[in-house]
Amino acid sequence: MDFRFSEEQEQFRDTVRRFARSELAPYYREGDHTKAFPHRQLAAMAELGLTGLRIPEAWGGSLQPCLVSGIAAEEVARADFNCGYFVEQNAFLGELLWRFGSPQLQERYLPGMANGSLVMGIALTEPAVGSDAANLTTRAVREGDVYVLSGEKTSVSFAGAMDACVVFAKTDPRAGARGISAFVVRSEWDGVRRTVLPSIGSKCLLRGTLVLDGVRVPRDHLIGEEGKGFYMIMSGFDYARALIALMCIGCAMQSLEETMQYVKERHAFGRPIAKFEGVQFPIAEDYTLLEAARLLSYRCLWLKDEGLPHTKEASMCKWWAPKLAVEVIHHCLLLHGHYGYVEDMPFDQRLRDVMGLEIGDGTAQIQKIVVARELLGREFLPYR
């Protein structure tokens, strides 16, 4: 077993870390106040190639191993947690389109995703259907060469800024999960309405709702085959969940490293507070847990690169890493004392931003059900 990155991967990590510190970190707090979508940061990331890591070269990307996307997600999130979404979403949706999309769809959307000129969102969650994705109420009715889509989606990242969106809808309402299909929907099409929700974290990502009122979607904007949407989204989630975990770990590790430097400099009772066990022990515990979660996340990506099953590992990453990151960042805030509680410090924003991924892309409860299903067997699923 070799737990080392290759020399090229180490160089990539160092390059991304330097870039993120200089081009992303200075603007992180600004986005929380202005709530302006980070177009500038997206363009800079695209120029470095971070938005095309899972897009083939034919469409402007580089199609790197999944492990490389994980490195990028972790390092970007250290500097600006919200910019990590550009790595994660483009990797997830880019792979979805090049694996299942028609040549026409690939040619139309993948180059813009790779070069940062096109913001692509994903619309799965619905107001009355959160974790139960197999029971979507959004409908897609075939009428000749178009599908007519009607329904409402919520918690759509980039809702207020996206140019297009991958929408999941029922083409066969009686078929359960087998009746779900995926479509690319343009934001400017008739019948598309978007509303930004006032979220407590990740404010610059303009998360919101998407209403589809009889939207006429050309047949060539169907991704893959009818009825295959649920399979596509679930296979993509396995990959995205490891990237989400690494985003959370990167943000928490940055907070912990800043805290380690602070406790060496902060004095109380005539000595640096880093000398007190009450300070040392939580730092040692948090670092240990972050390293363990990090190794699990990269193992999950390695399994995907090797073409091996990784559903269980992905769900383990997803329920644990966001929860752990919130706890670690909270500890870091407390170790800074009253200074950590002021708005000039990044901990409150990091807490609010990371907390969103305890919910998004599958709650902890759903992830634990998935893990239990893989360990115990489908016959023990609680909803059967």
Domain 230-380 has CATH 3.30.450.20: no
- Measured between alpha carbons, how far is 246 from 60 in angstroms, rounded to an integer? 25
25 CA to centre of own chain:
18
Residue 78 tokens, joined: 């250290």
- Measured between alpha carbons, how far is 36 from 46 in angstroms, rounded to an integer? 18
42 CA to centre of own chain:
15
Q: Give how far Cα 326 sits from Cα of 5, 210, 248, Å.
A: 27, 29, 8
For position 134, what pLDDT does the model report? 73
Nearest to 162 by CA among 144, 184, 142, 183: 184
- Write the pLDDT tens digit of every residue in 295-306: 999 999 999 999
Stretch 90-97: mean pLDDT: 95
| pLDDT of 344 strictly over 90 | no
Which helix (DSSP H) or strand (DSSP E) does residue 145 occupy? Answer: none
Q: Length of the chain, please?
A: 384
Nearest to 53 by CA among 66, 40, 44: 66
- Measured between alpha carbons, how far is 82 from 37 in angstroms, rounded to an integer? 10
For position 259, what pLDDT does the model report? 98
Mean of pLDDT over the chain? 95
Q: Which fold has domain 7-118?
A: Butyryl-Coa Dehydrogenase, subunit A; domain 1 (1.10.540)
- Write the pLDDT tens digit of every residue in 48-83: 999 999 999 999 999 999 999 999 999 999 999 999
| pLDDT of 131 strictly over 70 | no
Neighbouring-strand partners of residue 153: 210
- Write the pLDDT tens digit of every residue in 208-225: 999 999 999 999 999 999
Left if phi > 0, otherwise alpha if psi is -120 to 50, otherwise beta: which for 223?
A: beta
Q: Are 154 and 146 in contact (CB under 8 A)?
A: no
Q: Kindly report the CATH class assigned to 122-227.
A: mainly beta
- Write the pLDDT tens digit of every residue in 170-187: 999 888 888 999 999 999
The residue type at 222: L
For position 185, what pLDDT does the model report? 98
Q: Give how far Cα 97 sits from Cα of 57, 94, 100, 178, 179, Å.
A: 14, 5, 5, 19, 19
373: pLDDT confidence band, cut at 50, 70 and 90?
very high
Stretch 23-30: mean pLDDT: 97
Q: Where are the domains of the chain?
A: 7-118, 122-227, 230-380
For position 372, what pLDDT does the model report? 95
- Measured between alpha carbons, how far is 246 from 73 in angstroms, rounded to an integer? 6
Residue 264 tokens, joined: 């060496």
